[in-house]
């Protein structure tokens, strides 16, 4: 150990952690800094000497932690320049068959979508896009998508009842909307329409996205319908501007 008696012990790392686990504790501390946004995407890490001093370890131990985060995709090494927090830019394709799970998988990233909360409510504002009576009921799911532990989007989606009662339970089983719809009898669906706008997030939205309220969000409102044209999902997704860009490719042949 290359302890420097001038520095206070770092609160991030247990000084009495077993020697073999020190690098894991450092990796955890750095990972927390990245996932929480305290170190921003694209930012360069302090140099090895500075970090080794901060964590009170030698460079070899520090390097083990950094290498673990490179393997996990949180950091990338630019030779001759330094170690950077990886930019998180997901190309999200808006097309006839738009699937969040596929968009994320195509980016080759470790992603998950979690259920934050759900409720049953009168259709209200969702009645129009879902083409159901305003007094009928919908099941509403609030979900959050994360890549490498960092939130990239939050989604509020409404499903018509009684046809799709039980979406929350079905979603919990696998964490994929497409599979949940399939389990409830919707074999396939297509994107009818997407509307894209932007605004600053509310404090609650910024909090859920782990972003500052000064960073704008992309707002995508959309409707998905089954192959008979009946809407099965109406939703609003907020994407973090530093993590996601939307793409629209022309499907049509050039003729």
Q: Give the shortest CB-154-to-its own copies separation in angstroms.
A: 15
Q: Give the shortest CB-106-to-its own copies separation in angstroms.
A: 15
- Phi/psi region, residue 42 (left: phi>0; alpha: psi -120 to 50; beta: rest), is left
Q: Are the beta carbons of 215 and 241 closer than 8 angstroms?
A: yes
Q: Give the shortest CB-30-to-its own copies separation in angstroms.
A: 27
63 or 230: whose CB is closer to its own copies? 230
Chain positions contacting its own copies, by CB under 8 A: 91, 94-96, 190-200, 214, 216-218, 225, 227-229, 241, 244-252, 254-255
Could you count the other beta carbons within 10 Å of the beta carbon of residue 204?
Answer: 10
19 or 96: whose CB is closer to its own copies? 96
Alpha carbon separation from 199 to 47, 231, 235, 238 (Å, rounded): 37, 27, 17, 10
Q: Please, which residues have CB within 8 angstroms of residue 122's CB and are 6 or more apart in sequence?
A: 134, 135, 136, 137, 138
75 or 104: whose CB is closer to its own copies? 104
Q: Give the shortest CB-228-to-its own copies separation in angstroms.
A: 8
77 or 196: whose CB is closer to its own copies? 196
């Amino acid at each position: 150990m290359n302890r420097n008696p001038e520095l206070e012990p770092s609160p991030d790392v247990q000084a009495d952690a077993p020697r073999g686990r020190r690098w894991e504790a450092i990796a955890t501390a750095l990972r927390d800094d990245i996932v929480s946004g305290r170190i921003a995407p694209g930012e360069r890490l302090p140099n090895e000497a500075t970090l080794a001093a901060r964590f009170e370890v030698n460079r070899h131990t520090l390097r083990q932690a950094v290498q673990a985060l490179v393997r996990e995709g949180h950091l990338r090494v630019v030779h001759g320049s330094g170690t950077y927090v990886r930019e998180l830019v997901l190309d999200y394709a808006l097309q006839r068959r738009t699937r969040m799970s596929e968009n994320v998988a195509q980016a080759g990233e470790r992603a998950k979508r979690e259920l934050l909360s759900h409720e049953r409510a009168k259709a209200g504002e969702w009645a129009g896009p879902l083409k159901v009576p305003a007094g009928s009921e919908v099941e509403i799911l609030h979900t959050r998508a994360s890549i490498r532990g960092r939130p990239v989007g939050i989604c509020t989606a409404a499903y018509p009842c009684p046809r799709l009662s039980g979406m929350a339970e079905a979603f919990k089983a696998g964490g994929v909307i497409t599979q949940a719809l399939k389990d409830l009898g919707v074999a396939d669906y297509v994107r009818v329409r997407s509307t894209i706008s932007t605004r600053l997030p509310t404090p609650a939205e910024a909090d859920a996205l782990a972003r500052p309220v000064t960073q704008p969000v992309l707002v995508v409102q959309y409707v998905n319908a089954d192959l008979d044209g009946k809407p099965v999902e109406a939703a609003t997704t907020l994407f973090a501007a530093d993590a996601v860009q939307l793409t629209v490719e022309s499907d049509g042949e050039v003729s």
